[in-house]
Amino acid sequence: MKNVELLVRMLEKAGVRWVFGIPSGPVLPLIEALRTSSIQFVLTASETSAAFMASTVGHLTGKPGVCVSTLGPGATNLATGVGCAWLDRSPVLAITCNVASPWLDRRVQMRIDHHDLFRALTKATLFLKSGQIAPTVAHAVATACSEPPGPVHLDLPEDVASAETLEAAPKVSTRSELPDISAEVNQAFSAALKRSRRPLLVTGLTFTRCKAGRELLKFVETQRIPFVSTLHAKGFLPENHPLWAGVMGRARRSDVNALIQKADVILAIGFDPVEINYEEWAGTLPVLHVSTESADAGPEIEFRLNRAGDLDQAIKRLNELTPFANEWSALELEKHRRSLERFLHPDCPELGPHHVLDLLRKKLPADAILAYDVGAHTHQIGTQWRTDVPRTCLCTNGWSSMGYGMPAAYAAKLVHPDRVVVGIVGDGCFQMTAGEAALARRLNLAVPIVVLKDGWLGLMKVKQERKGYPLSGVYLGKPMESPAHYFGVPCRGARDEAALAEAIEWGLNLGGPAIIEAFIDVEPYSLTVFD
């Protein structure tokens, strides 16, 4: 057995099903080892997309997503997507296939120091050496999956990959133990609820890795506490619940912030400041922070509790608390939600982004997965889109890189082939990743991608308007008429709600990939994104 075959066996033991990437000479031994394994090598249009897909797989499965690149420019392309796994907390193994060992310290074609490149973007960057492949890969898997999960970089020289080995493939562990802090949390929450008149619950990225979602819902219902989430935590508590009060930091953020400031204590469970700093929304409110990591915040934030430990245990024991009365009224919260909905739907004689989302929400089943890119539409989706099902809204928030939406949608379809998956991207994002449509055609992934065509980098347009700057560098040009296909994937355009409804129906029933271009008015973003 060769070292590269041992590596593949270790990946199989870790539950890996796909490796995403692009071949080159140094990558070919790995692709050959994958060919005779249970793991599928998935050819992408760019290494960046490969890492985005690996990050999505890690998020959806809890098992390491794996991506691979060649040295030099392949590695630098990969790094952008690896950053997504780093700041969006997804377990990923990022493999760079390097020159032969004697050349590693020489200035030769394409070679750079991969460890220096990935050190700032990963939990660890490890060198694969003959005789140490098995323990190194086992350590990499455990590190990637331990709290908080994230990417680990593995550098594989070409001669090491092809060398024979006598190592065995041991069991691979993805479990990590965290301290039980439930008694301390119960005591602190009991004291806070006893003197509070308006407690507010906030959930975030860490909560998405919990198994105690139902227990937390029972807690908020018993205590009648309204809840707000971050973008990543959408659906992990049901957004159609009468205690739901919005998504922070997104469209109509001022309305959500106004409600937050009516609280007198923040119960932050599974909140990760990587999405939005406490300083940006908490103000002078006292905070009880319970997560797998303690919060890093400035001295102006008043923490009455800031503890890291086993979040599931802490949540489950919260239901031992007796109910405490508070002054939130059902009428007040309902009025807040109605106002939010009204402002999210400004008057718009043409097709607006809010019309697109409403049509999609009506057409899609409750467990459909929506993957969306970065831009003005991210803000609109964050607040307007409603879901009661965990892991049905896929986005990048900690990293926030354009180019995420299409790769994420296609990766989600690989993980959940029997569920409806739809992607939404802006026209700027589509220009970055349109080539991934060829991947969808090759694998026949039945995923409609909805492109919001307005001819602008909409989020940057709104930011320039808010700063009083003349519009510059943000106009993409007048949207062109929809072609018959992109890379063999059929395309339809729509300029009104009736045509869009028909195009969505067409895309969902095509039995393969589709692209739907919705020609929208950009101006509604100016009324919803930051107000």
119 and 251 both lie in a single domain? no
Q: Find, among 223, 230, 216, 213, the residue nearest to 192 by Cα.
A: 223
**Would you state the pLDDT for residue 117?**
97
404 and 521 both lie in a single domain? yes
Q: C-alpha 381: how far from its chain's center?
A: 14
In a domain, 125, yes or no: yes
152's tokens: 């680990």
202 and 289 both lie in a single domain? yes
**Would you state the pLDDT for residue 32?**
97
138's tokens: 């086992």
In a domain, 224, yes or no: yes
203 and 311 both lie in a single domain? yes
In a domain, 168, yes or no: no
**Would you state the pLDDT for residue 175?**
72
**Is a pLDDT exceeding 90 seen at residue 530?**
no
Instruction: State pLDDT tens for residues 117-162.
Output: 999 999 999 999 999 999 999 999 999 999 999 999 999 999 999 9
- SS3 state at 487: coil
Instruction: State percent of the chain over pLDDT 70.
Output: 99
Question: Largest Cα–Cα distance of the chain, in whole Å?
Answer: 72
**Is a pLDDT exceeding 90 seen at residue 529?**
no
- SS3 state at 511: coil
Instruction: State pLDDT tens for residues 428-437.
Output: 999 999 999 9
303 and 381 both lie in a single domain? no
Work out the average pLDDT over 297-301.
93
In a domain, 171, yes or no: no
CATH number of residue 219's parent domain: 3.40.50.1220
1's tokens: 């057995």
pLDDT band at 476 (very low <50, low <70, confident <90, very high): very high
CATH number of residue 374's parent domain: 3.40.50.970
Contact in structure between 528 and 252 (CB atoms under 8 Å) = yes
**Is a pLDDT exceeding 80 seen at residue 107?**
no
374 and 421 both lie in a single domain? yes
HSE-CB at 509 with a 13 A cutoff on CA atoms is 7
Question: Which position has the higher pLDDT, 169 or 159?
Answer: 159
Work out the average pLDDT over 40-61.
98
CA-CA distance, 196 to 207, in Å (whole number)? 23
393's tokens: 């809204």
Domain count, the chain: 3
Work out the average pLDDT over 373-389.
96
373 and 516 both lie in a single domain? yes
Domain boundary among the residues 316, 335, 354 is at 335
Domain boundary among the residues 297, 316, 335 is at 335
150 and 16 both lie in a single domain? yes
In a domain, 464, yes or no: yes
CA-CA distance, 197 to 202, in Å (whole number)? 16
Amino acid at 4: V
**Is a pLDDT exceeding 70 seen at residue 75?**
yes
The β-bridge partners of 491 are 515
372's tokens: 């969306």
SS3 for 51-85 is: HHHHHHHHHHHCCCEEEEECCCHHHHHHHHHHHHH
pLDDT band at 109 (very low <50, low <70, confident <90, very high): low
pLDDT band at 528 (very low <50, low <70, confident <90, very high): confident
pLDDT band at 103 (very low <50, low <70, confident <90, very high): low
Instruction: State pLDDT tens for residues 410-429.
Output: 999 999 999 999 999 999 99
**Would you state the pLDDT for residue 302?**
96
Q: Find, among 251, 231, 290, the residue nearest to 87 by Cα.
A: 231
In a domain, 249, yes or no: yes
**Would you state the pLDDT for residue 459?**
93
**Is a pLDDT exceeding 80 seen at residue 265?**
yes
437 and 455 both lie in a single domain? yes
**Would you state the pLDDT for residue 99?**
78
In the block, tokens 């065509």 appear at 453
Using alpha carbons, list the distances in angstroms from residue 347 to 36, 374, 426, 521.
Answer: 58, 24, 21, 11
CA-CA distance, 116 to 120, in Å (whole number)? 8
CA-CA distance, 122 to 520, in Å (whole number)? 39
Q: Find, among 329, 339, 350, 423, the residue nearest to 383 by Cα.
A: 339
Residue 68, domain extent: 3-162
15 and 154 both lie in a single domain? yes
Domain boundary among the residues 114, 134, 162 is at 162
The mean of the pLDDT values for the chain is 96
97's tokens: 């296939």
Work out the average pLDDT over 59-69.
98
In a domain, 172, yes or no: no
160's tokens: 């090491």
**Would you state the pLDDT for residue 216?**
98
Using alpha carbons, list the distances in angstroms from residue 503 to 318, 322, 514.
Answer: 47, 52, 10
Q: What share of the chain is helix, strand, coil (3-state, %, to 5)?
A: 40, 20, 40
Work out the average pLDDT over 208-223.
97
Work out the average pLDDT over 21-30.
96
In a domain, 176, yes or no: no
Residue 273 CB partners (closer than 8 Å, separation 6+)? 295, 296, 297
Work out the average pLDDT over 71-86.
97
**Would you state the pLDDT for residue 171?**
82
**Would you state the pLDDT for residue 447?**
98
The β-bridge partners of 475 are 456
CA-CA distance, 425 to 373, in Å (whole number)? 5
105 and 31 both lie in a single domain? yes
Instruction: State pLDDT tens for residues 328-340.
Output: 999 999 999 999 9
268 and 205 both lie in a single domain? yes
